[in-house]
Amino acid sequence: MGLGSYPTVSLAAARKKAADLRLEVAEGRDPLATRAQEREPTFGECADLYLASMENAWRNEKHRAQWRMTLSVYCASIRGLKISDIDTAAVLDVLQPIWSTRAETASRVRGRIERILDFAKVKGWRTGENPALWRGHLKNALPPRQRLTRGHHAAMPYEHLPAFIRRLPSQAAISARALEFLILTAARSGEVLGAKWDEIDLEKGIWTIPAQRMKAGRIHRVPLVHRAHSLLIEMSSVRLSDYVFPGQKAGRPLSETAMPNLMKRMKVADYTVHGFRSCFRDWAGDQTSFSREVAEAALAHSVGDATERAYRRADALEKRRALMEAWSVYCCS
């Protein structure tokens, strides 16, 4: 624990401070905690501390970036205020300008302010009710927000897929290889973009996605059928980094916008990249006799209740391999 710099603090004063602090420790008190409480942070400093504490818990970099952005841009007016000075009026100053025009964003900002203030209370920098609380508090000061009408991701009909797949080899971009691999494996965009070579076993034909990169937080093994395996061989011959599908920046994966932009160039922007998972599921349900459990496992969805999953620990890899091989044959037909 620093006691101040010399010569501003003399040796004699430093010795006295040290003696007093040792006495506090002997009496069971924590001088560092006391100092932290005395040096109360601003809302901005508290937000930064909270983000740092959550860094390892959030797997998604996009999620982290959204938190940083909302707490910086939308909360600019309160970042310089002491954390204990944040009251209902301060929270309303942030929310009211965007509550009607950007309802979804405003709701997220409110929730994030509430989390920061709860964090400050745990740290001992605040007491009392949280002024960003919705139920029983802000609900009485702000009108009900207009909720977004959410639809499904637009999916290409599976009948159109073989014709689309045939067009991909003529596209020279890495995004075309990534999109074809995504379709053949029925994987999510983030799983494909973040794929690294140390996850790939070409000899056994298995792609093992670690738990921290999966939405459900569980390891997922993907069988690499013939065409997907060939794509990886093609990418390994021009390997530029640890990422299977490298981006333009050194050491970075392909951009999140690369595959959607490719679909725009190919005049199929009415459909989404994520929609190819629905395309696969519709085909499996309509055109094959594979069980629902196998199809859902191929999408890395949880099947059954918690008890069933506790007893059923295998991942039906070989059954899924047969399903994905049939899917590959259909896609390339």
For 53-77, write each residue's pLDDT tens digit. Answer: 887 777 667 778 888 888 988 999 9
Output 118 or 237, whichever has higher pLDDT.
118
Is the confidence at residue 116, as pLDDT, over 50?
yes
Least confident piece of the model among 83-87, 146-150, 312-316, 328-332:
146-150
Q: 62, 256 in Cβ contact below 8 A?
A: yes
Q: 63, 112 in Cβ contact below 8 A?
A: no
Query: Average pLDDT, stretch 234-240?
Result: 89
Is the confidence at residue 145, as pLDDT, over 70?
no
Output 280 or 2, whichever has higher pLDDT.
280
How much is the pLDDT for 260?
Answer: 93
Is the confidence at residue 6, as pLDDT, over 50?
yes
**pTM listed for this prediction:** 0.60
Compute the distance between CA of residue 327 and CA of residue 332 in angstroms, rounded to an integer: 9
Is the confidence at residue 36, as pLDDT, over 70?
no
| Tokens describing residue 266 | 């190919």
| Tokens describing residue 306 | 């918690």
Q: How would residue 251 be classed by pLDDT, with cut points 50, 70 and 90? A: confident
How much is the pLDDT for 2?
Answer: 82
Query: Helices 275-287 and 174-185, interaxial angle, to 10°?
Result: 40
Domains of the chain listed by start with CATH number: 1-18+25-36 (no CATH), 40-140 (1.10.150.130), 158-331 (1.10.443.10)
Is the confidence at residue 47, as pLDDT, over 80?
yes
How much is the pLDDT for 305?
Answer: 54
Q: Number of H helices and number of E strands within the chain?
A: 15, 3
How much is the pLDDT for 313?
Answer: 54
Compute the distance between CA of residue 288 and CA of residue 285 in angstroms, rounded to an integer: 6
